[in-house]
Amino acid sequence: MVDADQTFVIVGGGLAGAKAAETLRTEGFTGRVILICDERDHPYERPPLSKGYLLGKEERDSVFVHEPAWYARHDIELHLGETVDAVDRTAKTVRFGQDGTLVHYDKLLLATGAEPRRLEIPGTDLAGVHHLRRLAHAERLKGVLAALGRDNGHLVIAGAGWIGLEVAAAAREYGAEVTVVAPSPTPLYHVLGPEIGNLFAELHREHGVRFHFGVRLTEIIGQDGMVLAARTDDGEEHPAHDVLAAVGAAPRVALAEAAGLEIADRAHGGGVVVDERLRTSDPDIYAAGDIASFHHSLFDARLRVEHWANALNGGPAAARAMLGQDTTYDRVPYFFSDQYDMGMEYSGWAPPGSYDEVVIRGDAGKREFIAFWVRQGRVLAGMNVNVWDVTEPIQQLIRGKARVDTEALANPHVPLDSLTS
């Protein structure tokens, strides 16, 4: 039983941490809840940073998980701009802040998120080199894109993943010139494979984005502290006034590692190893969001999922487990993206090499379709592009694991619901 004398500490003030705190209160926990965030901003959601807020279509206040007064109203002790530098599992304490404040915990949730991977090349100290992970990054980049568009400036983006492509779309809407360089053969290659990755390449080329695949940046050339160009390992130089490093994110596991918790190997995405209840190798410590590495029974693989929905659902699941509820976290991975006039939602997990074929339902040429990644007749993942309200049947197909008739799967006149029965 959980009683009012207990203290639950949450380290990490992103979506996972904020939703965990909310869930503790909605589930009736009356004990002490301490939420420690190393950013000075109140907990916020990250998708708008590369989408609506970056484009100037959403106000700054729209990104926050709760209004600032919500935390005090629900008796959440919120510490902003303070870093936890140690967890003592024997004493069950965390140490944080410049004065080394010690606080005892009965249960601890680590939701420390991820940080952008860095370009380890000459020139990254120049003023025009950017990352996009935090609200402050988005605020800065928003001004940069507006200036590039106004002055016909050039942006070079290292990386053709979701962040790279969403920023490319935003930059083109501002009017900036954009070149994307990536070692992969297509955009989003490690997520969608070449079949659908090529579709994203075509979309961006139609909007004026230049791609340079199969290469890596080797140097950012500058003068007087400013960016002039970016050089790739094939010897080419790409004119640039600014460079965005969008080469992925690494889980922030240093705190967990120092505390002696089990860490997944890099082949499985790193992260803190958790069980189906999001409990770490210490039964009183849980992990959720970007850092949680869990075995997913649907795909018989250890996954670490960095997307919004994982934080949205993982934080509450961890909170319920901390309260002693019978919880199993096995959500189908889900994410969404908006680029130009194309919106999409993806459910499942199907990296290259895991599937036999990609089945298209609808008109890929008009970018109104659903793509299914299939192995031996079983749906591993599905992505709906400008087709809406189909996430539930897509996820039912994935969860069902049943063999489906691929001709029926490809036929828009056959209801998806009929394939799940």
Residue 48 phi/psi, 5-degree rounding, is -65, -20
Shortest CA distance to 200 belongs to which of 394, 383, 393, 6? 383
| 82 Cβ contact list (under 8 Å, min separation 6) | 36, 37, 38, 96, 97, 98
Summarize pLDDT for 320-376 with one digit per residue, the tens.
Answer: 999 999 999 999 999 999 999 999 999 999 988 899 999 999 999 999 999 999 999
Q: What is the DSSP annotation of 235-246?
A: S-EEE-SEEEE-
- Percent of the chain whose predicted confidence (pLDDT) is above 90: 93
Determine the Cα angle at 404 with ends 399 and 409, to 5°: 100
What residue type is 358 in one-letter code? V
User: What confidence category does residue 384 fall into, taking pLDDT thresholds of 50, 70 and 90?
Assistant: very high
What residue type is 21 in one-letter code? A
Summarize pLDDT for 164-174 with one digit per residue, the tens.
Answer: 999 999 999 99
- Three-state SS for 100? coil
Burial of 283 (0-12, 13-18, 19+ CB in 10 A): exposed
User: What confidence category does residue 300 fall into, taking pLDDT thresholds of 50, 70 and 90?
Assistant: confident
CA atoms within 13 A on the CB side of 102: 7
Q: What is the DSSP letter of 62?
A: G
Instruction: Please give the model's pTM, rounded to 2 decimal places.
Output: 0.94
Cα distance between residue 62 and residue 52, in whole Å: 10
CA distance readout (Å), 407 to 36, 167, 357, 359, 403: 52, 37, 12, 9, 12
Q: What is the DSSP annotation of 348-397?
A: E---TTS-SEEEEEEETTTTEEEEEEEETTEEEEEEEES--S-HHHHHHH
CA distance readout (Å), 1 to 4, 75, 322, 324: 10, 21, 10, 7
The two three-digit tokens of residue 87, written as one number: 């967890």
Summarize pLDDT for 26-72 with one digit per residue, the tens.
Answer: 999 999 999 999 999 999 999 999 999 999 999 999 999 999 999 99
Average pLDDT over residues 212-222: 97
Query: What is the torsional sign of CA 29, 32, 36, 40?
Result: positive
Determine the Cα angle at 345 with ends 157 and 154, to 5°: 15
Cα distance between residue 7 and residue 237, in whole Å: 56
Q: For residues 400 and 384, is the Cβ–Cβ distance under 8 A?
A: no
pLDDT (0 to 100) of residue 269: 83
Please check the confidence at residue 301 and state whether its pLDDT lies above 70. Answer: yes
Residue 73 phi/psi, 5-degree rounding, is -65, -30
User: What confidence category does residue 421 fall into, taking pLDDT thresholds of 50, 70 and 90?
Assistant: low
β-pairing, 334-339 vs 7-11, is: unpaired
User: Looking at the chain, how many residues does it have?
Assistant: 421
Summarize pLDDT for 48-60 with one digit per residue, the tens.
Answer: 999 999 999 999 9
Domains and CATH numbers, the chain: 7-115+250-322 (3.50.50.60), 129-247 (3.50.50.60), 341-419 (3.30.390.30)
Q: For residues 213 and 186, is the Cβ–Cβ distance under 8 A?
A: yes
Please check the confidence at residue 2 and state whether its pLDDT lies above 70. Answer: no
Q: In 122-266, at which residue ranges do the beta strands (DSSP E only) sit? A: 129-130, 154-158, 177-182, 210-213, 217-223, 226-232, 237-239, 242-245, 249-251
β-pairing, 84-88 vs 101-104, is: unpaired
Q: What is the DSSP annotation of 112-129?
A: --EEEPPP-STTTTSTTE
- Three-state SS for 183? coil
Summarize pLDDT for 117-130 with one digit per residue, the tens.
Answer: 999 999 999 999 99
Average pLDDT over residues 262-272: 90
